[in-house]
Amino acid sequence: MNRREISAGEAQQRGGEKDKDRRDKISMRRIRPATKTCDWDADPTGLPSGMYQFNKRTDLPVYINNDGIDVATNEILEYTVLYFTAHSGFSFNEKEVANLALWLKRGGSLCLDDCYLRGSTFGESVRPEVARVIPGSEPAMLFKEDPRVADAFRMLYPTAWPGDEPSFENRPWQYYMLDERPAVLFSPNDDGCAWEYSTPPTASNPLGEPIGHGGDNRQREVVFQWLTNVLLFMYTH
């Protein structure tokens, strides 16, 4: 059992963060909100691990930066996809709302992930805060019968959809429309915890050793397939 817990910094380096050139590369940056009580840096190895798995499954080049991004700055306009997870509730300030609204209007996609599987104040904040960024928006359940999101979980892998996967506890995702496209996706299932690992991937264990309630590797394989599908979906819709 050569188990060695690695730090978030090591995970980030392993993912290729040293390469600062992000041109023509798939990327997903974490949001660091101004809300001081929001634990936005939960699941610190999740995003580097998830992007590593995405690269291995698609051969598409990736850019990994695990630092939180300030959505009140114009830096968000340099990214196509942003990711936000936490256990605690949040409230965007007026500058964050305006910037996120502009970014979404320009084609950005936001992926939200409740970091507590059974619901949290983060999940409770999603609907009212998205409604501030996309006025009048209401969540829709992400079902395979819905033609607007019919490709979301079959871009590369023909997986069972969240809510239909029988091998572990999971619920359907939700989405919010803007300009005839699903601009905001919300997972209530703490996917980032399943991406996490405490040891680097090896030939004998290509997913690495999981952390927390991320499940065994069979379950994590499903979640990595969901990530691959939905990230391709956000980049192409």
Task: Quote the pLDDT of residue 9.
Answer: 54
Q: What is the mean pLDDT of residues 82-94?
A: 96
Asked, for residue 191, whether it belongs to a domain, the answer is: yes
Domain of residue 187, residue span: 8-236
Asked, for residue 1, whether it belongs to a domain, the answer is: no
- pLDDT of residue 12 exceeding 60: no
- pLDDT of residue 94 exceeding 60: yes
Helix (H) or strand (E) holding 112: strand 109-114
Other residues' Cβ atoms within 10 Å of the Cβ of residue 86:
28
Q: How confident is the model at residue 1 (pLDDT cuts 50, 70, 90)?
A: very low
Query: CA 45 to CA 229: how far, in whole Å?
Result: 20
Q: What is the CATH number of the domain that holds 82?
A: 3.40.50.12140
Max distance between CA atoms of the chain, in angstroms, equals 53
Query: CA 222 to CA 228: how far, in whole Å?
Result: 10
Asked, for residue 225, whether it belongs to a domain, the answer is: yes
pLDDT tens-digit series, residues 49-82: 999 999 999 999 999 999 999 999 999 999 999 9
* Strands of 128-227, DSSP E: 140-141, 174-178, 181-187
Helices (H), 15-120: 46-58, 94-105
What's the total number of domains in the chain?
A: 1
Tokens of 162: 């969240």
Helix (H) or strand (E) holding 27: strand 26-27
Tokens of 141: 């359940």
Three-state secondary structure call for residue 77? helix
pLDDT tens-digit series, residues 24-54: 899 999 999 999 999 999 999 999 999 999 9
What is the overall mean pLDDT for the chain?
90
